[in-house]
Structure 1
């Protein structure tokens, strides 16, 4: 990072840190600053490894100021933003806006309605993060309802039901109830029969092309005026499986000349020949469309607030026709934009990820290259770090960018203090030692916690250094935890000088491992596997433990195999 860029990062960080601190009348949080900082300055993302260190220093300096000093400085840097903060009638202590008309309901009830076609990718975390946070805030209720009534085009994966619940647990939430829509077909049939008797639906055998032409011209289908008895008989034939796919549908009768053609006499039930993968649902052939199924369930489950994508605005309008026929009150609806995620080459799409796994291009849903919650979990990222980042995006109708660096910053706050340090050398160059250095190096487990003690690293007669750390001839370097050496005649000669040579700025500090007693490590990263050797104590760390490889980054120890230790890179 050059000086000009560093100054920009510091200047922008100071503004966002002051905004965060003044708005909440508290210290600024690194995680809360990273999101808006990277969102407002997308060119910072290519320097994501270096930005957090700069941000941490600036946030610390801002937090050293008294509140009035923070406010005065913010008035200098961003007077308009300060005015907006002070113009608010009432500071909301929550990161999310209040739910609309929340006081009108005895209990806030919400639902998370995933399609179980695979485990969740990172974008999926936004819904449970926000709903779970609202549930806790209002002491409300939320359920997981698997919307699995499309056994063909969005075919459920039998393993996904439990995988999604496992992802939800990882994020720190437990639903108050769990449902499968495919268990509730008879309920949907009963409501379809009631709707038919009310004159609100009719069976239609038009081809898709023929009906589309009628619909687009605002002309009624010739089947629209069938009597209720005839429609009921034909619907029962649909339920009994007497029609094949495409032969018959049940349509909700709306306004055939509605200004939005997508709302004109939409399909509520269709025939599907492909059996559902769940054995209990495999005999059904007449399946509800999502708008009918979801609309009925939202009423029966007494859902008070729905959050859905801005692209699904027509769903509420379609469902409103059904609610009007039944004289039901429609829930409050919040529409939000999509989440865009940086840092990944793989598209954030369940079907795309599944295809790459099937082709062998990804090892599985927890491959570090996959933008999935299972991948983040295996890398050692805490679920709460993801929730905090998602809640920080709010509920804007605009598409929002989520920088992975914001999740990393949140996670770093959670794990830094508790994580021991270790050395890992990648692609090491072996260099002999001379001059009788100590037999053992004793770097601290954590530089900020002396009470944790020191590591005991046997030195031996040679060490491994990363290629970029190899000194020029006659230069001195400081091997962390060991001492000062001069590179002479391809040998590191121990000089015995004390730490003052580092403080004076003449000597670079580098990490290292003993050549003889180091342990082989394969570290799985988003960019592929990295091999190296680590200090011997790494072999004793229990699987699932988190370490910080000094000057490399955090990593989760996955397993110890016969030939190597496998670790998953967490983040810088």
Structure 2
């Protein structure tokens, strides 16, 4: 498959629009981002698209702004109109700074001490979307070199891959840091030999005093030969935990204390949970060292990280400078705060689950992808939600309602409607005749009807009848109108099926469930709801349905009654 003449015109019009908008020849990356974002069929042809864009930009640079305007009016007048239309601030992802011929390589690097949460999902979606637009490579790298404080969970490695695939973000490559310990050791030895790293035996508090005073600790001046001897003893397990640390030499008088001779390796004798690693190693790299080496080894071109990790780039920059490497292009973003969850951490959630506060990682109250998937949130909704949020250093405070709104657009047209009565009250209808009613499965889509057998009894919500009095009139939705003849026990009599009566007498319309029903339990973030509903619900296993006047729910099991997970209103 090659670029067509139509594709070339598309590239030219976006190049010209950018040139007209900013009054100068655009950068290749800016046009590439617009082209890939608007033309999904070109994403597999990124290697052909880049040179073609550059060729067109070379031609554009030879013309005047007047010529750009004239040509754009001729081939894409709608883009001129777009420029002249006052729009709301741009949503979504801005173009990357991509050099000509550069293959974009980006990564998401989780600590697998639990499954992905909404917070980590942003990194999965945004990085995968960028490489998709630029025809690059998306890597999942498990930063699992802390077997003690943030101890990995064996299940979490697979959970991440499963959730990435579900999000349409299947990685091109999966890397596990604990498989590369010998690589980190080799670079540590090299830096020690070069005199850029040393083994420090200071206690934590003592080293802090030296660091705060901008003075070298007693071990900083050791020769590489002495440091290598200590390094070999560390690897052999001759030192106890916290007895020795490998530090990277920086500027000991740097104005920022966090950048003064930072730790690169420490001794941890807790076995790693991966059986292939186990107690094989007792010296483990800290994250700044491990990440710096991996980003280089994997050929990372662009990194997106939290603005709270800006110091990481500065610390890692010393390693890159010592080894003569170029640092990847880096973008920072602010934190996401979800109103419904407040602050949360994977470690905190793990502890709460172990203490029995939650039923598991897919408890509907949790902000994990496993919980959202079980509730019926669609991956397309999550992707759009994260992409439209964009990348910026401003902290973002949002509500789950925004995600629910995106999901509602997807599930509303496909979710069948059913009656579910929670906290049910039995209603005897004194003059009822057995009949069958057939409400539609969907109010606007032609999807057929469900069949409900009606006898002399029905069930209604306690909330709907808790305050009724004798003589009150109600409409049982899609059935008939009743007049209440007794409150305790609750009884009524049918008074016809006229919708005109409903309007003229201002009847409340309530839903109901037949006597021949199925038990239903709904698990929701805001509580547990038990009741009864239509038997036909058992045919909707794993589907999202809408329980009328309650909300959308995903049917999770039908073995012993129905168990559903609340999706949203």
Which of residues 436, 444, 452 in structure 2 aligns to 1:440? 436
> 1:40 — aligned with what?
none
> 1:296 — aligned with what?
293
Q: How many aligned positions are there?
A: 483
1:153 matched to 2:149? The reply is yes
**SS of match in other structure, 2:536:** helix
1:140 matched to 2:136? The reply is yes
Aligned pairs (5 A) from 1:32-111? 85=87, 95-99=92-96, 101-104=97-100, 106-111=102-107
> 1:465 — aligned with what?
460
**SS of match in other structure, 1:239:** helix
Which of residues 243, 247, 253 in structure 1 aligns to 2:249? 253
1:474 matched to 2:468? The reply is no
| Cα displacement (A) at 1:501 | 3.3
| Cα displacement (A) at 1:500 | 3.0
Aligned pairs (5 A) from 1:502-513? 502=502, 506-513=506-513
**SS of match in other structure, 1:127:** helix
Which of residues 551, 554, 558 in structure 1 aligns to 2:552? 554
Kept in 1: contact 2:434–2:456 (CA 8 A): no
Question: In the TM superposition, what whole-angstrom CA distance separates every residue of 1:422-442 from its partner, at most 9, and x where no partner exists?
Answer: 000011111111334561121
- For residues 98 and 503 of structure 1, do their structure 2 counterparts lie closer, same or farther at Cα, with a shift above 3 Å needed? farther
Cα distance in 1, alignment partners of residues 184 and 198 from structure 2:
15
Kept in 1: contact 2:433–2:455 (CA 8 A): no
Aligned pairs (5 A) from 1:91-490? 95-99=92-96, 101-104=97-100, 106-282=102-278, 283-344=280-341, 347-437=343-433, 439-449=435-445, 451-470=446-465, 471-490=468-487
| Cα displacement (A) at 1:104 | 4.8
Listed as ranges, the gaps of 5+ residues in structure 1 are 1-23, 25-67, 72-81
Cα distance in 1, alignment partners of residues 288 and 504 from structure 2:
70
| Cα displacement (A) at 1:307 | 0.9
> 1:46 — aligned with what?
none
Cα distance in 1, alignment partners of residues 130 and 505 from structure 2:
52
Question: In the TM superposition, what whole-angstrom CA distance separates every residue of 1:413-456 from its partner, at most 9, and x where no partner exists?
Answer: 1111111000000111111113345611211000112x322111
Question: In the TM superposition, what whole-angstrom CA distance separates every residue of 1:58-85 from its partner, at most 9, and x where no partner exists?
Answer: xxxxxxxxxx9xx9xxxxxxxxxx9974
Kept in 2: contact 1:440–1:482 (CA 8 A): no
Cα distance in 2, alignment partners of residues 308 and 487 from structure 1:
63
1:525 matched to 2:521? The reply is no
- For residues 432 and 475 of structure 1, do their structure 2 counterparts lie closer, same or farther at Cα, with a shift above 3 Å needed? same
| Cα displacement (A) at 1:505 | 7.4
Cα distance in 1, alignment partners of residues 108 and 358 from structure 2:
28
* TM-score between the two structures when normalised by the length of structure 2: 0.81
Greater Rg by CA? 2
Cα distance in 2, alignment partners of residues 467 and 298 from structure 1:
60
Kept in 1: contact 2:433–2:456 (CA 8 A): no
| Cα displacement (A) at 1:169 | 1.9
Cα distance in 1, alignment partners of residues 350 and 511 from structure 2:
40
The root-mean-square deviation of aligned C-alpha atoms, in Å, is 2.1
Question: In the TM superposition, what whole-angstrom CA distance separates every residue of 1:515-570 from its partner, at most 9, and x where no partner exists?
Answer: x21111111111222101001212333x21221100100111111233x2111111
Cα distance in 1, alignment partners of residues 300 and 317 from structure 2:
14
**Relative contact order (alpha carbons < 8 A, sep ≥ 6): 1 or 2 greater?**
1
| Cα displacement (A) at 1:105 | 5.7
Cα distance in 2, alignment partners of residues 270 and 252 from structure 1:
12
Kept in 1: contact 2:429–2:494 (CA 8 A): yes
Cα distance in 1, alignment partners of residues 363 and 386 from structure 2:
22
Cα distance in 1, alignment partners of residues 100 and 272 from structure 2:
40
Cα distance in 1, alignment partners of residues 486 and 247 from structure 2:
86
**SS of match in other structure, 1:547:** strand
Kept in 2: contact 1:442–1:482 (CA 8 A): no
| Cα displacement (A) at 1:177 | 0.3
Question: In the TM superposition, what whole-angstrom CA distance separates every residue of 1:478-517 from its partner, at most 9, and x where no partner exists?
Answer: 2122122222345322222433334557222211011x21
| Cα displacement (A) at 1:290 | 0.6
Kept in 2: contact 1:437–1:494 (CA 8 A): no
Question: In the TM superposition, what whole-angstrom CA distance separates every residue of 1:282-314 from its partner, at most 9, and x where no partner exists?
Answer: 210111111011001101111011111111110
Question: In the TM superposition, what whole-angstrom CA distance separates every residue of 1:355-385 from its partner, at most 9, and x where no partner exists?
Answer: 1111111110011112211111111111221
**SS of match in other structure, 2:261:** coil
Aligned pairs (5 A) from 1:2-21? none
* TM-score between the two structures when normalised by the length of structure 1: 0.81
Cα distance in 1, alignment partners of residues 420 and 115 from structure 2:
33
| Cα displacement (A) at 1:147 | 0.3
1:498 matched to 2:516? The reply is no
**SS of match in other structure, 1:118:** coil
| Cα displacement (A) at 1:475 | 3.0
Listed as ranges, the gaps of 5+ residues in structure 2 are 1-33, 35-77
> 1:568 — aligned with what?
565
Bigger mean CA deviation after superposition, 277-286 or 299-308:
277-286
- For residues 186 and 105 of structure 1, do their structure 2 counterparts lie closer, same or farther at Cα, with a shift above 3 Å needed? farther
Bigger mean CA deviation after superposition, 111-120 or 388-397:
388-397
Kept in 1: contact 2:150–2:347 (CA 8 A): no
